[in-house]
Amino acid sequence: SIPGVPVLGADARSTVEFTSTRDALAGGSPLAAALLRIDGIVGVLFSAEAVTITKDQDTPWPLVKPDIFAALTDHFANAAAGIAVVDPALAAKPPADTEILATDSEVVAMIKELLDTRIRPTIQDDGGDIEYCGFDESTGTVQLKLKGACRTCDSSVVTLKNGIENMLQYFIPEVQKVEQVLDEHERVANEESISWKR
């Protein structure tokens, strides 16, 4: 690796996550493709300064760590040659989930603003991210998807309830609770994550 070289670059405005080799190649990320080709690796999330790798529950870390570090070392040794972690245009796009739309209610706009300015940066510092999935005005429920290290972290419920839910409720009285949205494969598999910081 090259110390001091950011993972996504100075123009990065969000995280970028890949869960298949096909998506990684389509997103212009040979590094994510190389990591996802390692048996047992099921997800790669890039943030400004970290690469978070998710494995399935059956694969022990000692088995995959050498291949992970080899892929990271190979990539960052060649980074000086201009090989990007992802397509720079993809990394420079702001998160679409918290873009405030003309059709959003005032409450939804406030939720998105708070997620984007206060909550997301803290989550990204820990190797994860959040995705806003919706707000049910009748129940006051905010639906969020956790990504990267936060998705499978043992304290993800604490993050949702004590961190995100408390902050949203403090600033937005209409919010009654926060629920985690899971993908089908997340419901089936109990995955583990490791975060590598540059």
- pLDDT at position 185 is 62
Task: Decide if 6 is inside a domain.
Answer: no
pLDDT tens by residue, 143-195: 998 887 766 666 667 777 778 999 999 999 999 999 988 876 665 554 555 66
Say if residues 32 and 44 touch (Cβ distance below 8 Å): yes
Say if residues 97 and 88 touch (Cβ distance below 8 Å): no
Kind and range of the H or E element at 168? helix 166-171
- pLDDT at position 101 is 92
- pLDDT at position 190 is 46
Same domain, 79 and 130: no
How many whole angstroms separate alpha carbon 3 and alpha carbon 133?
36
Same domain, 107 and 136: yes
Same domain, 110 and 177: yes
**Cβ-based neighbour number of residue 37 at 10 Å:** 12
Same domain, 111 and 164: yes
- pLDDT at position 184 is 67
Say if residues 178 and 144 touch (Cβ distance below 8 Å): yes
**Cβ-based neighbour number of residue 106 at 10 Å:** 9
3 state SS of 24: helix
Task: Decide if 124 is inside a domain.
Answer: yes
Same domain, 74 and 126: no
Phi, psi for 6 (deg, rounded to 5): -65, 150
Global confidence as pTM: 0.71
Task: Decide if 80 is inside a domain.
Answer: yes
- pLDDT at position 105 is 95
Same domain, 53 and 103: no
Residues (pLDDT < 70) of the chain are 1-5, 9-12, 79-84, 88, 91-92, 150-156, 184-198
Using only the alpha carbons of the chain, give its radius of gyration: 17
Same domain, 54 and 101: no
Task: Decide if 63 is inside a domain.
Answer: yes
- pLDDT at position 109 is 95
Q: Looking at beta carbons, which pairs linking 103-110 to residues 24 or more positions away fall under 8 Å? A: 105/137, 107/135, 107/137, 107/172, 107/174, 107/175, 108/135, 110/171, 110/172
How many whole angstroms separate alpha carbon 154 and alpha carbon 18?
22
Same domain, 31 and 70: yes
- pLDDT at position 1 is 36
Task: Decide if 5 is inside a domain.
Answer: no
Domain of 70, CATH number, reads 3.30.1370.70
Same domain, 138 and 184: yes
Same domain, 156 and 136: yes
Same domain, 171 and 112: yes
Instruction: Work out how many domains the chain is built from and give that number.
Output: 2
Task: Decide if 87 is inside a domain.
Answer: yes
Domain of 167, CATH number, reads 3.30.300.130
Residue 20, domain extent: 16-92+193-197
Same domain, 122 and 147: yes
